[in-house]
Structure 1
Amino acid sequence: MLRYTLMRLGILVGCFVVVWGLVYSGLVPRGLGDSNGLWIVMLALVISAPISFVVLRKERDRASVNVVARVDRMKANLEANRSQEDDPADDSAKARSQAS
């Protein structure tokens, strides 16, 4: 998961640098008034999102498999703990209901 996050951040930084260069070279319009920095960040976010979606598909799938495995392991541990924590009163109640 950390690898995916770092790759996504790298794509965002790369897009930021490219957009910054395009804005200051005059190929892309500057923001209104003092909003130039915000304009560059927002434009970089909008551009990096679809790039990350396409380029990082395999890494995202790998991270998803790891998350699913971790959740399954946690569910198995929870179920094992739940079965160990049965109350003795429950056992006696089950024994009485079976005897009836």
Structure 2
Amino acid sequence: MSAAKPNAMIRYTALRLLIFVGCFFVAGVAVHFGLLPSGLGGSNIVWVVLLGLLLSAPLSYVALRRQRDEMSAQIISTVDRTKARLDANRTREDAVQ
């Protein structure tokens, strides 16, 4: 028995989160050892989060292109099915009147 393939949106979000967590960890280590400047006063954690976001955004954009395309195709398919159902319902309503 094979496991069900996860939803493309869930898979993309999980991979994006993993990339952020990795970048957050790297940024935290770099700040701790003085390779990157620390934040002002008590804002160190906010600074590390921002650095993690700044590092993970371009990495996710490049590394997750295939997953993003799959997710986009899934969303387009869902929207097309919903539009078709709405059109069918509208046609039935017009036929009844």
**TM-score band w.r.t. shorter chain:** 0.7 to 0.9
For structure 1, which runs of at least 5 residues remain unmatched after alignment? 90-100
1:46 alignment partner, SS class: helix
- Compute the TM-score of the two structures, normalised by the length of structure 1: 0.85
Structure 1 counterpart of 2:93, from 72, 85, 89: 85
Q: Percent identity?
A: 52
Q: What is the number of equivalent residue pairs in this alignment?
A: 89
Match of 2:61 in 1: 53
Displacement of 1:14 in angstroms is 0.4
Structure 2 CA distance for aligned equivalents of residues 44 and 88 of structure 1: 57
Q: Deviations over 1:55-79 (max 9, x none)?
A: 0000000000000000000010001
> Is residue 20 from structure 1 mapped to residue 28 from structure 2 by the alignment?
yes
**Larger relative CO (CA 8 A, sep 6+): 1 or 2?**
2
Match of 2:5 in 1: none
Structure 2 counterpart of 1:31, from 19, 23, 39: 39
> Is residue 62 from structure 1 mapped to residue 70 from structure 2 by the alignment?
yes
Structure 1 CA distance for aligned equivalents of residues 30 and 15 of structure 2: 23
For structure 2, which runs of at least 5 residues remain unmatched after alignment? 1-8
Structure 1 CA distance for aligned equivalents of residues 29 and 96 of structure 2: 71
> Is residue 5 from structure 1 mapped to residue 8 from structure 2 by the alignment?
no
The answer to which structure has the higher helix fraction is 1
Runs (4 or more) in structure 1 with deviation over 3 Å come to none
- Compute the TM-score of the two structures, normalised by the length of structure 2: 0.88
Bigger Rg over Cα: 1
